Amino acid sequence: MQQKSSSFSIKNWSDDDKPREKLLHKGRAVLSNAELIAILIGSGTKNETAVALSKRILSSANNNLNELGKVSIKQLMKFKGIGEAKAVAIAAALEIGRRRQNEKAIVKAQILGSKAVFNLLQPLVADLPHEEFWIVYLNNSNKVIHKAQLSKGGITGTLVDVRLVMKQALELGAVSLILAHNHPSGGLKPSEADKKITNKLQKASEAMDIRVLDHVIITQDNYYSFADNNLI
């Protein structure tokens, strides 16, 4: 009997079939609704896997997530293997999905030139007493996927980790980058160190088939663009 019950455990499945591993390796879209619910509840019962239990729960709501969203906590708890914590997790996830439908998608800023970079980052760095180095990650339409402070330093400069830039670019699926940093002194002339780090990031990006479109130096009311001055 012990051997029979262990066969129901998801732990004995191949990684390609385990919902959590499947999501990690293949993405969210390939999972069925039952597999997604199975991730929420974590485990089934001695004689039923989390996926099988999730299928029964879905079946009770005509395999419709909108209908499942109307099911109460107490009704969910009638299923063997579903306690209060698991029922609450299911209800919370369905509520998040409902709220998501009612929210407007955020319009991503599109970078069409150095002025757009200045407008994007000037409010964040122009008044700082120290230097900060930022990266703007773009998709193939030059729309901003993400912008992030990479490092900050003293008046004289900031340390940039090229490996961290590349790692984040790959994780975000960025096809191009824009580099930017502020000059608290108000000077716009790029230093030799500025040129060196630009060249270093360009070479690293090319190896990953990612383009560095510009490096913008920002002060309180003005900016300097490497691209506009043919330095990139």
Q: HSE-up of 134 (CA within 13 Å, CB side)?
A: 25
Segment 155-183 shows an average pLDDT of 85
pLDDT at residue 232, rounded to an integer: 84
- Count the Cβ atoms, other than its own, within 10 Å of residue 63: 13
* Percentage of residues in the chain having pLDDT higher than 90: 54
In this structure, the answer to whether residues 93 and 28 fall within a common structural domain is yes
| 184 phi, psi to nearest 5 deg | -60, -25
How far apart CA 8 and CA 52 sit, in angstroms, is: 10
What global pTM score does this model have?
0.61
- pLDDT digits 0-9 by tens, 84-122: 999 999 999 999 998 888 877 777 888 899 999 999 999
| In a domain? residue 109 | no
Structurally, the chain folds into a number of domains equal to: 2
Could you tell me if 65 and 80 are in contact, meaning their C-beta atoms sit under 8 angstroms apart? Answer: no
pLDDT band at 56 (very low <50, low <70, confident <90, very high): very high
pLDDT at residue 161, rounded to an integer: 82
In this structure, the answer to whether residues 95 and 122 fall within a common structural domain is no
In this structure, the answer to whether residues 135 and 93 fall within a common structural domain is no
In this structure, the answer to whether residues 126 and 50 fall within a common structural domain is no
In this structure, the answer to whether residues 126 and 220 fall within a common structural domain is yes
Could you tell me if 121 and 111 are in contact, meaning their C-beta atoms sit under 8 angstroms apart? Answer: no
pLDDT at residue 217, rounded to an integer: 94
Of 62, 79, 102, the one marking the end of a domain is: 102
In this structure, the answer to whether residues 131 and 84 fall within a common structural domain is no
- pLDDT digits 0-9 by tens, 174-213: 999 999 999 988 888 888 888 988 999 999 999 889 999 9
